[in-house]
A and B are shown apart, each in its own frame.
Chain A
Amino acid sequence: MLRRSPLLLAALLAYPIVIALLVGLVAGYASAKPRVAFVDEDGLPPVVTVAGHSFHIRSVVDQVAKEVTLVRLGPDEASRELASGKVVATITVPPGFVGKLLTTVRTPSLILRTGSGGLAPRVTQQVQALVYRLNNKLQQGYISANLVFVRLLLHGGAGSFLGRHFDVLGLDGTQKLLEGVPPSKRVAAIQRFVRVARVGLAQTGAALHATAHPIALAQPKQKGRTWVLSAQVQSYGIALTVTFLALLLAAGAAAAEQEEGTLGRLRRGLASPGQLVWSKVALASVVGLGLGAAIAVLFGIVAEAGGVSGGEPWARLPLLFAGVLLAAAVVGAAGTLLGALAREPRTASLLAVLVVLPVVFLGLVPRGALAAAWWVSELLPFSHAVRFIGAALYDTSPWRAVGTQALWLAGLGAVYWFLARRGMRTLAG
């Protein structure tokens, strides 16, 4: 049979290879950069000068972007995205950060908030590394500032501290003064102290270079969504269910009509090929909407019960339902096409399952992993459904994203509908 069906043979050989590649790509995503929000509430200047040492603080911060994808967001948006799981952590530069840094005597804090996802420990490590790098850079400025005071103590002179100006005699001046004082046991003791102090302070520079951690990392507890309730899981969960169900249902319905012979009856002027496609699309849409809505409501209830914040589990349901309905309709049209090609329900079901897996895996491949896979995924409805649902539930201003994805879905739906209509005509004729 396989010898007579070279196409089937090729498909059977290629399918596991394609699936293996896609699984590899998706698995590779686990080692891809996590998305971290960067909130600058202090308005970091491009260059900060600490004790006469200038350094580009932004460039240091950007170095961390080699390890994670830093997304600059406002505080509210960052909180919302952390709560919904769209970012795995937020790094906040609080107001007054640079001011404290410039005093060189107070320790400013970067605030790291992480979600409860599996990537949180990794992000914490990345941010600890960032703080370490910042500290290394700042260390030079801090040491220089401290050495100014050490030099003042050693050699004396004019100085300032926290805006107050003063003159210091210094150990050199003290020793000179002591040389003019008549010798006595007390004077000798002071002279010994001055010598020891001068030797000791001369080593201060090296000692300061050895230890310096001007920035501490504060990590307040955050009650965000667990990984299970994150935006990604919810979006993928609903989209996957709707895709699988709508494809299988429409493909099965189209093939069943062919097998039962009712398609021939209907084609005798009772229903046009277009109407036949619409009936499958309507079936897939209604059932897809019902199941998608049930899942969304279940997520909402669990989120409410868990008291987790973020997202709009209830207010955005109508928008979510619109997305689910549209996605189910588009997938339903694709399923009808599959059913028309398969001609027989069992083959249609098998074909639908075989198609769903790579479609979903392609949707999971990040753009950076393999551009070609990403582009192929763009021509399939799954990734657009995921983005529509995610935006509908969690974006502060979802309209742009929702509109773009709706246009994509509508365009793909029109193509699938046209092909399915041709398929139904061929099937019936």
Chain B
Amino acid sequence: MNDRLDTIVRDALVAEAQRVTADDLELLPVVNAPATRRPAAWMVAATLLAMASIGVSAALAYRDRPSRVATTGSTTTTSPGSPGGVSAFAEVVGMPEVEAEAGTLTLAPASVSHPWLTHSVELTNRGSVSVFVSQSQRSVMLGDPPSLVVGTQYCGYTGDGAQRPIQAGACLAIGRRAREIEPGGTMRFQLTLWRDLAGLAPLGDGPYIFELPLDFRRGTSFDALDPQHLPADVGHATLRVAYTHELPLVTFRGEEIPYFTLRVPASWADRDEPGRDSRVGGDGFVSVTLANAESLDEATRLQTEHVLHPYGGDPEIRVSRLGQLPARLVFPSADAPKDRGFQVAGTRSVK
């Protein structure tokens, strides 16, 4: 029966899929530089400049976060309903009658450990028999290199990142007692996330998978004060929580300077500047201006050889392309003035 059903559904999906092709899609790279991916010391900038008699220029800058230790809400990647641009998906593996659901991520209450986010996990028993579940305590570092610490209640990390490296796995010694989940009932517990601790790498997109061992027995309770002394008929399952992280970006369209779009962090605000389009955030900025030059290289030279030497005395110029157009990228030399933010400039011809 399933084969017949599969055939019907497959045929319908194949027919439906014929309605769309990628022929009208175009692969156009755009300026997009999430702060977490940039290796610059504390600020990187890119400038687009013009060729011929008129053109467009833009500056795009990112700055590393000013603090090495996160406090709640210090991230710049917040988005409505999902602090930090993080979403979580939970599932239980090895206990088929139990479904898991990750609760809404919220900023964690401030504490000495500087937690970032917290959320609940709810286990629901869809079976017809009570299930007794003992949840272990665990905290782990996730990512390669590690960039996120996730832990259950009473678990966190040790170290300060300076004298002692950050290490996960620190948990208070709390006895584990199985909790009953009646048919249709739920069991809830809390997970906490830390990021930006000293020594942790910047948070990338993920996914970051947190796994938590669960012991369970159907019908009767059990104590699990010591995992070595679990009854023989206790089953073992795993709660898996997948975290994905996305820097919310929005399209930034020219108003003063038409005919350009850039993607910028959603948190960046409009800065009203005559003759240019700007978006500014706590972690960087983008600024677009018009410039006149006889050629792309001339436009680049005007920028790099400006009397203020914004890119230092010996910047590196790379020939590149942005979108379908020729471009120049300018990387500052070591003597670039810090108050100019170690800007990296780029020039792009426009017509």
Partners in one complex: no
